[in-house]
Amino acid sequence: MFKEMDQDFVLNTYSRNYINFKQGINATLYDDKGRDYIDFTSGIGVSSVGHGNARLANAICEQARNLIHTSNLFLIEPQAKLAKKLADLSGFDMATFFANSGAEANEGAIKIARKYGEKKFDNKKYKIITLENSFHGRTITTVKATGQKSFHKSEFSPYPDGFSYDQNIETIYNSIDDETIAVMIELVQGEGGVQPFDKNEIQNLAKFLQEKGLLLIVDEVQTGIYRSGEFLATNLYEIEPDIITLAKGLGGGVPIGAVMTKHKDIFEPGDHGSTFGGNFLSARAGIEVLDILESYKNSGLLDEAFLQFEEKLNTIYKKYPTIFSEHVGLGLMRGFRCKDGDILTKAIEACFKEGLLVLKAGKNTLRMLPPLTISKEEIEEGFERMVNALDKIS
């Protein structure tokens, strides 16, 4: 019934699996038939504190009973608290604009960069360089910022100009011209194949841009909120960008995006806005998620999960040399590079049949983004199911 309802009344923009999940407990999901699935996807990196997290649910319920929304025309106490919490955990003196998604956060970052290029230079600077295989969102502008031609479909053109794409970090330097204002990168390309960049290359780029007075925008929509092992992948790479964007794991499932910048005076009232962004409900959820994960990190449990996951990845990789060519990523943002796309499709389908949820990234990467609070038992069970699945296709 619900499948037909979905097909009749929901726009056809997703190739859905019509499983009907009814409940979740940490990294385990249950469908309407009572079957359990170990979740190595966390809603594409969103359910950072797991499914059915009691602390998050209680915080959301308490806030909803009092106030959900008043608009940004008035003070929103949890928004102010969340902005301060982000600055404190990042270690950067930054102010934050709150939106509803990663794409919106990246739109805000682009607007900040363009106003900076108009305000701070005699000649207008507006061009932004991104990287091939990057992913920055689904709006018209962020699709254009995405360095993958497959997203630049002609039926959605014309796209905004001012974006160009480099193959790697080293070629960026030669692409900068008199109209370039910023470089926008992911420190680990998620949709592009779970590909981390070299730390020294990133640090050299950050230093070069700073010397030239140009902006570094780091898209941490997927890598942020402890996904890399530190609060930000930026912290792990030991750089200080001008602008950082966040979303996904920040709300634990409640939609929220954020763009942080050290250029606190660049916007003025009327330059940007959002009806829903950072309202009482989403901001309160964000605070609770950060409190949970900060404690989890400080307790050592997060690092233990990383180590256990890493050990399992090494074992699987060595066991199936005919399926995988390498394993990639960091923290709990991991992937196996499959020999080809057909093997990837078979692996994802086989894992699903065994009760394990995994993702596709790029052309041939099996991606894993489990909840950060995933238990030792769930890690063990998940990889047991992966072995059962891979045995069937190897």
Break the chain into its structural domains and give their ranges.
Answer: 2-53+299-393, 55-298
CA atoms lying within 13 Å on the CB side of residue 75: 3
What's the N-to-C CA distance of the chain in angstroms? 37
| Long-range contact set of residues 134-137: C-beta below 8 Å, sequence gap at least 24 | 134/165, 134/184, 134/185, 134/186, 134/189, 134/192, 134/219, 135/186, 135/189, 135/190, 135/191, 135/192, 136/102, 136/103, 136/106, 136/184, 136/219, 137/101, 137/102, 137/103, 137/104, 137/106, 137/107
Select from 3.40.50.300, 3.30.70.890, 3.40.50.280, 3.90.1150.10 the CATH code of 2-53+299-393: 3.90.1150.10
- Are the beta carbons of 218 and 243 closer than 8 angstroms? yes
Tens of each residue's pLDDT in the chain, 394 residues: 899 999 999 999 999 999 999 999 999 999 999 999 999 999 999 999 999 999 999 999 999 999 999 999 999 999 999 999 999 999 999 999 999 999 999 999 999 999 999 999 999 999 999 999 999 999 999 999 999 999 999 999 999 999 999 999 999 999 999 999 999 999 999 988 899 999 999 999 999 999 999 999 999 999 999 999 999 999 999 999 999 999 999 999 999 999 999 999 999 999 999 999 999 999 999 999 999 999 999 999 999 999 999 999 999 999 999 999 999 999 999 999 999 999 999 999 999 999 999 999 988 999 999 999 999 999 999 999 999 999 999 8
Question: CA separation (Å) from 390 to 58, 121, 315, 349?
Answer: 39, 56, 13, 10
Sequence-distant (≥ 6) Cβ neighbours of residue 114 within 8 angstroms: 126, 162, 181
pTM for this structure? Answer: 0.96
SS3 state at 215: strand
Helix residue spans in 91-167 (DSSP H): 102-119, 140-145
Peptide bond into 158 cis (omega under 30): yes
Pick the CATH number of 55-298 from 3.40.640.10, 3.30.70.20, 3.40.50.150, 3.30.230.10: 3.40.640.10
